[in-house]
Amino acid sequence: MWCGRVALRRLQRIAVAPLNLLSITGGLPGAVQREASSLPRVYITRQIPPEGLKIIRESGQGIRVGYTPDVLTDAVAELTVALLLTTSRRLIEATHEAKSGGWGTWRSLWLCGYELANSTVGILGLGRIGVAIAERLKPFKVKKFIYTDVAPRPELASLIDAEYVSMDELARRSDFLTVCCALTPETKDICNKDLFSKMKNTSIFINTSRGGVVHQEDLYEALSSGQIAAAGLDVTVPEPLPTSHPLFTLNNCVILPHIASASYTTRNTMSALAANNLLLGLKGQPMIKELKL
């Protein structure tokens, strides 16, 4: 144990040597300044014991992180509405029938789906994207918007005249339930057997947030048993979802390859913001959008 402590102190002295020189000389000589500027940049992906973390903090540089929020709100909202309509009006099934020769004489209930008019739309996680989705659905004569979140969000809710409800009530009342929440330890698998069992058997479930918020085995059971009418997913676990996954066998499940932000405008805006963040960060200037670590 004693030898271990001696070795640890020696490593600490080696690691902080340039910083100690700074305190002795009152400034950085040219050679030391060049050495300091070439210190390694270290990105730590998980929590490590404090002694090692202290050494890295004192001898390396923290890495600045830029990100691209806001710019994909419109694209994700549009794709969510498109996925909702595709699923509720059974467009993939209809396209297949037209191509494969299933289109015969008129039948009164063939390929019937569900309308947005006079419906209740539930939003799980009301943020920018949830509001943008509701704004796009309003012209379809939706009767009511309801939402749940970790707490009421009156300012955002007032923009779309949405009512705050419990998770159970969201499940019971929603004709269309769209998931817009972030993936956190609290929301992982939050859309599970308990949620699906409370939903109407005519309900449509849409997820364009993160695959991890849905328990996919429970979703498969709900869809295959008729517990809910249909589902549309832009996100899954894993990604890509293996083509052998049971969800792909269901006619009432539409799965997209995570393309919510895939518009030319959004992807170009994202790339420009990322590039500008990078250049400003390298110059030591404030980034346009920087993650505060």
Please identify every residue annotated as catalytic: 258
Whole-angstrom distance between the N-terminal and C-terminal Cα of the chain? 35
Shortest CA distance to 122 belongs to which of 159, 71, 164? 164
Element (H, E) at 255: strand 253-255
Name the phi and psi angles at 120, rounded to 5: -110, 125
- 181 vs 208: CA distance, rounded Å: 9
**Cβ atoms within 10 Å, residue 18:** 15
Chain mean position to CA 89: 25
Q: Look at the alpha carbons of 268, 274, 280, 286 in this order and tell me if their dihedral is positive or negative.
A: positive
Query: Does a cis peptide bond (omega within 30 degrees of 0) precede residue 139?
Result: no
Element (H, E) at 134: helix 128-137
The bridge status of strand 290-291 relative to strand 65-66 is antiparallel
- 216 vs 219: CA distance, rounded Å: 5
DSSP assignment of 80-106: HHHHHHHHHTTHHHHHHHHHHT---S-
Shortest CA distance to 240 belongs to which of 252, 248, 230, 251? 248
